[in-house]
Amino acid sequence: MSIEARRDVFQAISDPTRRQIINLIAHKRMNLNALAENFEISRPAISQHIKILTECGMVVVKQEGRERFCEAKLDGLSEVSSWVDQYKQFWNEKLDSLGSYLDKIQANNQLSNDQSNEK
């Protein structure tokens, strides 16, 4: 019994090679050979990464004559951004609270120092 893996944008960006592929084709499309030249892994390994990125909806491969060109589809990254934003808000609130607490301690220390200097 085999379980088919669900492909999503998080799986696409989980691998450093796939992130580098996305970075390379984010601004201009590239054919597979040109793309593979940027890596020290085999062409079949690059093809496997491209397959995963395609299944995740992050890359579209278009056949033009004898060549296959890869184009990035970055819309899926908004899902990552939304997921990160919820934690960003959490940590911003925690850091704001810490800042307020430290300001309060500093004010209390300053008050104590002022009172000590008056004696």
CA distance 12 to 19: 8
pLDDT at 74: 93
Query: HEC profile for the chain?
Result: CCCCCCCCHHHHHCCHHHHHHHHHHCCCCEEHHHHHCCCCCCHHHHHHHHHHHHHCCCEEEEEECCEEEEEECHHHHHHHHHHHHHHHHHHHHHHHHHHHHHHHHHHHHHHHHHHHHHC
Instruction: Give the percent of the chain with pLDDT over 90.
Output: 72
pLDDT at 5: 58
Mean pLDDT for 71-86 is 91
Q: What pLDDT, in 10s, does the model give residues 4-27?
A: 556 889 999 999 999 999 999 999
CA distance 21 to 95: 35
Q: At what angle do helices 43-55 and 16-25 cross, to 10 degrees?
A: 80
pLDDT at 3: 45
CA distance 107 to 104: 5
pLDDT at 108: 87
Is pLDDT of 112 > 80?
A: no
Whether the predicted model's global pTM rises above the 0.85 cut:
no
Is pLDDT of 76 > 70?
A: yes
The backbone torsions φ and ψ at residue 84, rounded to the nearest 5 degrees and listed phi first, read -70, -40
Mean pLDDT for 32-43 is 94
Q: Are the CB atoms for 46 and 38 separated by under 8 Å? A: no
Q: Which of 62-66, 70-74, 112-116 has the lowest mean pLDDT?
A: 112-116
pLDDT at 6: 67
